[in-house]
Structure 1
Amino acid sequence: MSLLLLLVLLTFSKCKKGSDVANPENPTDLTEAARYRESSSTTGIKTIDATKASSDGGFSYKVINIPGTSDSESSPSVSTLKVFENGKELGPGHAMHADIRSTGKGLFSHWAGGLYFSASDNSDPRTNGRTYTYSLDGSNTGSIIPPVTPPVTVQPVQTSSAIGFASMDGKTTGGIGGQTVTVTSLSALKNAVESSAAMIIMVSGKITGTGYLNVKSNKSIIGVTGSSLEGVGLMMYGSSNVIVQNMTIRNVVTYSNIIIKEGAHHIWIDHCDLSSDRNHGWDYYDGLLDVGKRADYVTLSWNRLHDSHIPMLIGFGDENTDDIGRLRVTVNSNYFYNVSERQPSTRFGYMHVFNNYLQNGSGYGIGVTMGATVRTDNNYFENQAIPIFTEYNAKPGYVSGAETNIYANSKANRISTAASTWVPAYEYKSQLIAAANVPAVVSAGAGATLTR
C-alpha cells in the first residue's frame, strides 16, 4: 500500500508540462483520489463532477483519473480528449500548464491521467453552476447533459391543485362554492372582484382602463380564451384564498400587473400572460408580478412574463425586515423572455424556484439578497448575463441547488455565500421536468394556454 501511495504522489507531483508550480489543493492519499475518479468508459459524452476538482493554481483546476490515453513528455499531443462547458467545446487542448494557470479561458491538458482545465471566463468551475462534460472518441455535444427525458405533456391545471406554498398550512381554492359570473366590462369586473362574497369570475373579451382593482378574498379570476385586461392591474391587498388563472394583462402604468402585498396569503397566480414593453425606459412601467409586505404562502406557476425590464420582485425593500419569516413563495414553470433582470429578484423569505425558463436576460436572472433563502431546481438559463446573483443589495442571500440548473450560453453565477441546505417541506420531485426539457415544455405550456 505504501509503495502504491508513493507512485500516486510521484505521478501527480512531477507533472511539469511548462511549469513546476505546486498544486495548492493536491490530493495526497488514495481516499482523496477516489473522490475524483471519473467513469472508466471511453465512449460517448461523460459528465465531469467539477465540484470535486482541486485548484492547480491560477485559473487551472484538476480532475484526476480521466480514462483514455493521455499526453506525456514523449507524446505531448496524443490525447483525443474533448472538454465541453454547457455543451460548448473548450480549448485548445494540449496546453502548457503554466498557460492554463495564467491565461485560462478554456485551455486544458489531459496529462498523466489527469485533466487540467480552466473555465471559459476564468470563473471557478466548482461553483459557477455550469455543466462540464468530455469525450474521448470524438463525440460532440450541442446540448447539455444530463440525459433528456421524454417531453412532458402539459395538462390544464385544475383550480384545486396548486403546487407548493399555496397549498401549505391550508389550501388555496379561490371562489369554489360561490356564484360563477361572466364579466365583459371594467365596471362589472370591479364589482365582482371587490365583492365580499366568494365568487368565480370569468373574464370575457378585451377590457381596458387604468389603475388597479382591489381583489377581495375567496375569488377565482379566470380569463376566457382570447380575453385580455389592458392597462388595469390586479392587487391582492391583505386578501387571502385568491386564484388568478389564464389572464392576459398588459401595459399597466404606475402599478405592477399583479401585486400581492400587505399580508395577503394563499394566493395562486397560474397560466397568465403578463407584459408591458421596454421602449419607455425603466421608470414608465412597474413590474409584472410582485410579492411583498408580509405576503405569504404564494405560488406563481406556468406564467409567461415578457417585454419588461423588471418582471418579478419578491420583497419590496431592504428596510422591510418584517418580511422575515414570511414571503414563502413557489416560483415554478414560468417563462421569462425579453426582460432585463428580476427573474425573480428576492429579499428575505424562502423561495423555491424550479423548472423556469429564463431566456435572453440582459442583467441578472435570479437575484438572492437580504438573507433570502432560495432553492433552485432544474431551471434553464439561456443567454443570461448573470444567472444567479447575490451581491447587489445591502447583503446577500443563500442559494441551494445551483448545480441542478442548465446554463446555456450564459456567464458565471455570482454567488458569494456558502450553499444553503434548505429544501421546501412539500413534495415536488414528482412534478420536476428534466432541466434539458424545460425550454420546450415551458415555452409551449406557459401563459394563457388553458382552454376555458
Structure 2
Amino acid sequence: MEIKNKTTNRVSMSLLLLLVVFTFSKCKKGSEVANPDSQLNTIEKTLAASNSKNGIKALNLSNAVSDGGFSYKAYGIAVDGDSQSNSTISTLRLFENGKELGAAHSKHDDIRKMGKGRFSHWLSTLYFSASDNTDPRTNGRTYTYSIDGSTSIGVPPVTNPSLPDGKTPMDSEAIIGYASVNGKTTGGLGGRTVTVSNLAALKSAVSSNSAKIVRVSGRITGKGYINVGSNTTILGLKGSSMEGVGLLMYGTNNVIIRNMTIKNVVTYSNIVIKEGAHHVWVDHCDLSSDRNHGWDYYDGLLDVGNRADYVTLSWNRLHDSHIPMLIGFGDGNTNDSGKLNVTVYKNYFYNVSERQPSTRFGYMHVFNNYLQNGSGYGIGATMGATVRTDNNYFENQNAPIRTTYNAKPGFVSGANTNIYKNSGANKISTSASTWVPSYEYKSALISAAQVPAVVTAGAGATLNF
C-alpha cells in the first residue's frame, strides 16, 4: 500500500508540473500568442503521441484546426520545439507529397497572412501552411515530418486507386487535360454508392470528404446551392434534373460531376468551382437558364475562380444564358496568377451572349468546342490569361476571340486553327502566343470541320447510367 501511494503521488506530481508549465507559459512569437484551445487536451495529445523520435512520420491531420488565414494547427508532435526562451531550437522538417516546405521557425502571423509552406514547430504544436495555401485537411496531399534530419522521398501527389481490367474512372474515356495533371481525379472511386431523389438526401449524401458515388434520380427542385465535399462523384441518371439549385465546390478536391441537367439557378451559377478547389472534372452536363429576365437575374452556368486549379470541363451543353462560362472572377484577383489551369473541350455553347469562356490570369486550353449564335464575344482572354485554341468551330459569333474588354488584355495561341463561319473578326490586341499545354491531347483532337456534328451528337446529358 505504501509503495502504491508513493507511485500515485509521483504520477500526480508529474501531471501537476505539466499543468503548471502549460498554464503559465504565454508563448509569444511575432504577433502570435500561442494559447492552445485546451491545455488539458494538449497534454493528453502530447502524452498520447508516439514515443518514437526517428525517421519519417505521417502528420496526423484528424485533429488539425484552422489557425486563421492560411495557417493550420496540428497537435501532438512527440518532441517539443521552439519556445519563448529559444525560438529556433526545433529540428523539425516538414514535407508535402515528399517535397520539403519552409521557411521553418516562421512567425505565426506570417504563416497566417502569407502561408506558402511556412511553418513553426512551437512546443508540441505544428503551425503550418500548404505550399499553395489550400486547406491541408482536404487538398488530397500527404504531409510528413522528421525530427532527426530524415528526408521524405517519393510520396505520390495523389493516391490513385487501382482500376480493374484497365478501366478508367467511372467506366468512361480517360480524363483529358488539367484534371489529370499533378495527380489524377478519381472522384468517389472505391466509396459507397447511394441513389438520391430529393434535395435533403442529395445535400447529405455529398457533404462529407469520404469517398462516395452519388446517383441522382428524378427531378430535384430547390433554391441556393449544395456544398460538395471532396472525393465525390455525382452522376445524373437518365431523365434526372435539378432546377433552381446549383452545385458548389468550395475549396474541395477530387470531384467528378457527370450527366447532370441543371437549370434556372437564381443568384448563383449552376456549377461553381472556387476557393482553391482543385482536380475537378465536369463532364456531359446540360446547363441552362434563359435570356428573358435580363443580365442580372441569373448568374453564369459554369464558373471557375478564386485560386481554383486543375479543372477539366468537357462535353457539356451550355445554352440560353447571357454569361455561360467564367474563368477568373475579377480583375483584382491577382492571387489567381499561377492558378486557373483549366481545360475546356468538346462543349457546345449556343444561344448565349458572351463568355464562352471569359478568362483571366490563368492558362486555359480550349479545343474542339462548338460556339454557335453568340451576340457578344466568344472566347475572351484578359488580365494576362493565356488561352490556347485548337480546332474550335465558331458560327454566327459577333467577335469570336477578344482580348480588349477588361483592364488588361490576355494572350492567344492557335487562333488560325479554328473555323469562323458567318462570324465577325477577332479582336486580339496582343502578339500571338506560342504556348501549348504539356499534356497529351492530340489523340483526342478532331478537325475543326468535324466539330459541329461530333459535339452536337455527344455533348450534354447523353450518358446512360
* Fold shared per TM-score above 0.5: yes
Q: Is residue 379 of structure 2 the alignment partner of residue 382 of structure 1?
A: no
SS in 2 for 1:169: coil
Q: Is the 8 Å Cα contact of residues 205 and 228 (structure 1) preserved in structure 2?
A: yes
What corresponds to 2:352 in structure 1?
339
Shift of 1:413: 0.2
Aligned to 1:299: 312
Per-residue displacement from partner, 1:96-147 (whole Å, max 9, x unpaired)?
Answer: xxxxxxxxxxxxxxxxxxxxxxxxxxxxxxxxxxxxxxxxxxxxxxxxxxxx
Residue 191 of structure 2 corresponds to 178
Amino acid at match of 1:264: A
- Answer whether contact 1:297 1:327 (CA < 8 A) is retained: yes
- Aligned ranges for residues 366-445 of structure 1 at < 5 Å? 366-445=379-458
Contact 2:209-2:232 within 8 A present in 1 as well = no
How far does the alpha carbon of each residue in 1:237-273 deviate from its partner, in whole angstroms, 9 at most, with x for none? 0000000000000000000000000000000000000
1:45-60 correspondence runs (5 A): none
1:221 aligned residue (221, 234, 237): 234
Say if 2:267 and 2:297, in contact at 8 Å, map to a contact too.
yes
Say which structure, 1 or 2, has more relative contact order (CA 8 Å, 6+ apart): 1
Per-residue deviation at 1:160? 7.1
The reply to whether residue 204 of structure 1 matches residue 217 of structure 2 is: yes
Is contact 1:312-1:342 (8 Å) kept? Answer: yes
1:312 aligns with 2:320: no
| Residue 238, structure 1, aligned to residue 251, structure 2 | yes
Distance in 2, Cα, partners of 1:302 & 1:440: 13
Aligned length: 298
The counterpart of 2:372, out of the listed 347, 359, 375, is 359
- TM superposition shift of 1:158: 3.5
Where in structure 2 are the equivalents of 1:252-263 lying within 5 Å?
252-263=265-276
Q: Which runs of 5+ in 2 are unaligned?
A: 1-168
Q: What letter matches 2:267 in structure 1?
A: T
Quick check: 1:184–1:207 contact (8 Å CA) kept in 2?
yes
Residues of 2 paired with 1:227 and 1:359: CA distance?
26
Q: Structure 1 length normalisation: TM-score?
A: 0.65
Aligned residues of 1:359 and 1:382 also touching (Cα < 8 A):
yes
Partner of 2:223: helix, strand, or coil? coil
User: CA offsets per residue over residues 339-368 of structure 1, 9 Å max, x none?
Assistant: 000000000000000000000000000000
What secondary structure sits across from 1:426 in the alignment? coil
**Superposition RMSD in Å:** 1.3
Q: Would the alpha carbon gap of residues 233 and 290 (structure 1) be closer, same or farther in structure 2, given more than 3 Å must change?
A: same
Q: How does 1:2-401 map to 2 (within 5 A)?
A: 158-159=171-172, 161-401=174-414
1:232 alignment partner, SS class: strand
1:157–1:408 CA distance, 2 compared to 1 (3 A): farther
- Give the equivalent residue in structure 1 for 2:140: none
Q: In structure 2, how many angstroms separate the alpha carbons of the residues matched to 1:373 and 1:197? A: 35
How far apart, in 2, do the equivalents of 1:439 and 1:430 lie? 19
TM-score (norm 2): 0.63
1:313-359, Cα deviation, whole Å (9 max, x unpaired): 00000000000000000000000000000000000000000000000
Measure how far apart 1:159 and its partner are: 5.0
CA deviations 1:393-441 (Å, max 9, x no partner) are 0010000000000000001000010011110010001100110010010
Amino acid at match of 1:179: R
Instruction: Check conservation: 2:230, 2:253, Cα contact below 8 A.
Output: yes
What's the CA shift string for 1:31-66, capped at 9, x where partnerless?
Answer: xxxxxxxxxxxxxxxxxxxxxxxxxxxxxxxxxxxx
Q: Please say if residues 170 and 189 of structure 2, whose CA atoms lie closer than 8 Å, have aligned partners that are also in contact.
A: no
Contact 2:325 2:357 in 1 (8 A): yes
Distance change >3 Å, CA 189–CA 262, structure 1 → 2: same
CA shift at 1:197, angstroms?
1.7
Task: List per-residue Cα deviations over 1:375-397 (Å, max 9, x = no partner).
Answer: 00000000000000000000100
Structure 1 runs, 4 residues or longer, greater than 3 Å off: 156-160
Mapped to 2, the partners of 1:160 and 1:188 lie a distance apart of 29
8 Å Cα contact 1:296/1:328 also seen in 2: yes
Q: Is the 8 A contact 2:291 2:322 kept in 1?
A: yes
Identity of aligned residues (%): 78
Give the aligned residue type for 1:272: C
Q: Is the 8 A contact 2:353 2:374 kept in 1?
A: yes
Please give the secondary structure, in 2, of the residue aligned with 1:403.
helix
Counterpart contact for 1:264–1:295, Cα < 8 Å: yes
Describe the SS at the equivalent of 2:175. Answer: coil
Q: 2 CA distance for matches of 1:158 and 1:424?
A: 26
How far apart, CA to CA, are the structure 2 residues paired with 1:412 and 1:274?
28
- What is the letter of the counterpart of residue 304 of structure 2? V
Q: Secondary structure at the match of 2:203?
A: helix
Shift of 1:196: 2.8
2: distance between equivalents of 1:195 and 1:157? 20
For residues 160 and 210 of structure 1, the distance between their equivalents in structure 2, rounded to whole angstroms, comes to: 33
